[in-house]
Amino acid sequence: MSDFFNSGWSWFVAAATVVSLLACLVLLFIASRRQVMADDNTTGHVWDEDLREMNNPLPRWWMWLFVLTVVFAAVYLAFYPGLGSHPGSLKWTSVGQYEAEQAKARTAMEPVYARYVKMSAEELGRDEQAMGIGQRLFLNNCAQCHGSDARGSKGFPNLADNDWLGPNTLEDVKKVIVEGRQGVMPPMGAALGTAEDVKNVAHYVLSLSGSAHNNIAAQLGKAKFGVCAACHGADGKGNPLLGAPNLTDKIWLHGWGEQAIINIINVGKTNAMPAQGRLLTPEQVHVLAGYVLSLSQTTRVATQ
C-alpha cells in the first residue's frame, strides 16, 4: 500500500476487506435458513421431466467449515498485513523475511568462504574449489550480460581476454562488482566539425588498429583526432583511469566499421554495469573477482 499517495485508499481497501468477510457470513446465514416452498420439499424447479431441485439445508459440516475460513481470515489479518496499510501485529514483511533468509544463508556459508578471504588473485586462481564457487557465482550474477562463457557480446565486455577498460587488480575488480561502473562517451560530432570531418576521423581510428580504411581520409582525420586524444590519448591507446578504450587493438565493444564508429562519434554512448554489492557478501565478491581475473589468464586450473 506504500505506493498509494493518499491514505484514503488504505481505509477503502481495509473497509472493503472487512465488509466482504461480514457479507460472507450474512450470505451463509441466509442460505442456511430453510424455507418451505412445496409440500414435497422441493423448490418447484423441474428439469428433463423428472429432475427436481430439493429444498434441503446446507450440510452442517460445510457451513461450519465456511465459518472457520472466515474466522481464519480475520485472525490472519490481525497478525499479517492485508487491511490496507495496517502492518499486522507481527510486523511481517516479505522484504524482512527475504533479508532474514539471506542472513541465515550467509551465516551458514561463512565457514566455506573463510579460507579464501586472505588469498591473493593468483592463489584463488590455483584453487580448484574456489574457482568452482566463483564460476557458480558468475553464472548466477554475471552471465546474463557477459554470457556463460564470459566472452560478452556487443555492448558487453569480454572478460576472457586481456583487454581491460579500467585497472585490473583484484581490488579494482572487487570495487567494480560492488559499486558498479558507468562509462560515458559524449557525442563529439559537433566538436569535430562537419560530417566529412567525422568520417575522416572514423577512418583514422580504423587505421590505428590496422583495419581496412581509406588512407587519404585517415590522414585528414589525424589532425581532428586531437579532440579525441583528451581521453583516448595521442597514440589512441586509451586511458584505464578514465575507462577510455584502446583504439589500437582490434577489439570493438560497440561494433566495427566506418558507420559504427561514425554513429558512436555523433551520438555518443553510455554503458552501465549495475552494482552487485547488495546481492553478494564481501567474501563472495572476493572469490568472484578472483574468478573473473582468472578468465583472462592463459594458464589456470580448470573449474569443471
262 and 190: one domain?
yes
25 and 162: one domain?
no
Does a structural domain hold residue 96? no
**Average pLDDT, stretch 203-229?**
95
Does a structural domain hold residue 94? no
167 and 290: one domain?
yes
Q: Cβ-count burial of 206 within 10 angstroms (0-12 exposed, 13-18 middle, 19+ buried)?
A: buried
Residue 299 pLDDT: 40
Residue 41 pLDDT: 74
Residue 198 pLDDT: 96
Residue 247 pLDDT: 95
The answer to whether residue 303 scores a pLDDT higher than 50 is: no
Does a structural domain hold residue 40? yes
Q: Give the confidence band of 214 by pLDDT, cuts at 50, 70, 90.
A: very high
The answer to whether residue 93 scores a pLDDT higher than 50 is: yes
236 and 171: one domain?
no
Q: Cβ-count burial of 114 within 10 angstroms (0-12 exposed, 13-18 middle, 19+ buried)?
A: exposed
126 and 141: one domain?
yes
- DSSP of 150-181, one letter per residue? S--BTTB--SSSS--SS--SHHHHHHHHHH-E
56 and 28: one domain?
yes
12 and 61: one domain?
yes
234 and 285: one domain?
no
Q: Which domain holds residue 280?
A: 101-180+274-295
189 and 152: one domain?
no
Q: Give the confidence band of 257 by pLDDT, cuts at 50, 70, 90.
A: very high
Average pLDDT taken over every residue of the chain: 89
Query: What is the spatial distance between Cα 24 and Cα 71, in angstroms, rounded to a whole number?
Result: 11
284 and 135: one domain?
yes
The 8-class DSSP code of residue 227 comes to G
Give the residue, 234 or 60, on which the prediction is more confident. 234
Which segment of 3-12, 112-121, 155-164 scores lowest on mean pLDDT? 3-12
Last residue of a domain, one of 49, 79, 109: 79
The 8-class DSSP code of residue 22 comes to H
pTM above threshold 0.85: no
Find all residues with CB under 8 Å of 198, minimum gap 6, and list them: 189, 192, 262, 265, 266
Query: What is the spatial distance between Cα 135 and Cα 291, in angstroms, rounded to a whole number?
Result: 7
Does a structural domain hold residue 87? no
Does a structural domain hold residue 304? no
Give the residue, 273 or 50, on which the prediction is more confident. 273
CATH of the domain at 175: 1.10.760.10
**Average pLDDT, stretch 38-66?**
80
58 and 169: one domain?
no
Does a structural domain hold residue 92? no
Query: What is the spatial distance between Cα 129 and Cα 40, in angstroms, rounded to a whole number?
Result: 80
Structurally, the chain folds into a number of domains equal to 3
What percent of the chain lies above the pLDDT cut of 70?
94
The answer to whether residue 14 scores a pLDDT higher than 50 is: yes
Q: Cβ-count burial of 77 within 10 angstroms (0-12 exposed, 13-18 middle, 19+ buried)?
A: middle
Does a structural domain hold residue 303? no
The answer to whether residue 36 scores a pLDDT higher than 70 is: no
Q: Give the confidence band of 7 by pLDDT, cuts at 50, 70, 90.
A: confident
119 and 172: one domain?
yes
Does a structural domain hold residue 70? yes
Identify the residue whose cell numbers are 558507468: 182
The answer to whether residue 302 scores a pLDDT higher than 50 is: no
